[in-house]
Amino acid sequence: MDAEGFLPLSLIASFPRIRSLTDDVSFILSCLRGSEGIEFSADELKIRPRINPLYWPLHESSPQSGTETPLPAAISDDDGNK
């Protein structure tokens, strides 16, 4: 996600559930155009929510910065491992 809250459409197209349905990015784009909750970047290569689009932006971080925050112990992976 960029600083303006946009996600690349290519990322959405790479989700396993989406890939199981279609690999046609233009079809995905046409389906998303029907949503009132989504807005597109000017070039239509990125999408974001219309309401509160800056709520979840992920900021770039440098692995060498030493500012990474460890995950809480209560969070586990998909296999139930902590």
41 within a domain of the structure (yes/no): yes
For position 73, what pLDDT does the model report? Answer: 57
| pLDDT tens figures, 19-72 | 999 999 999 999 999 899 999 999 999 999 999 888 876 666 545 555 555 555
Whether pLDDT at 12 is above 70: yes
Which 3 state secondary structure label does DSSP give 48?
A: strand
Whether pLDDT at 16 is above 80: yes
79 within a domain of the structure (yes/no): no
25 within a domain of the structure (yes/no): yes
CA 21 centroid distance within chain = 18
Nearest alpha-carbon partner for 32 in 7, 64, 57: 7
Joined together, the tokens standing for residue 67 give: 């500012």
- Domain interval for residue 14: 7-52
Whether pLDDT at 10 is above 80: yes
Query: For residue 26, what is the domain's CATH number?
Result: 1.10.10.10
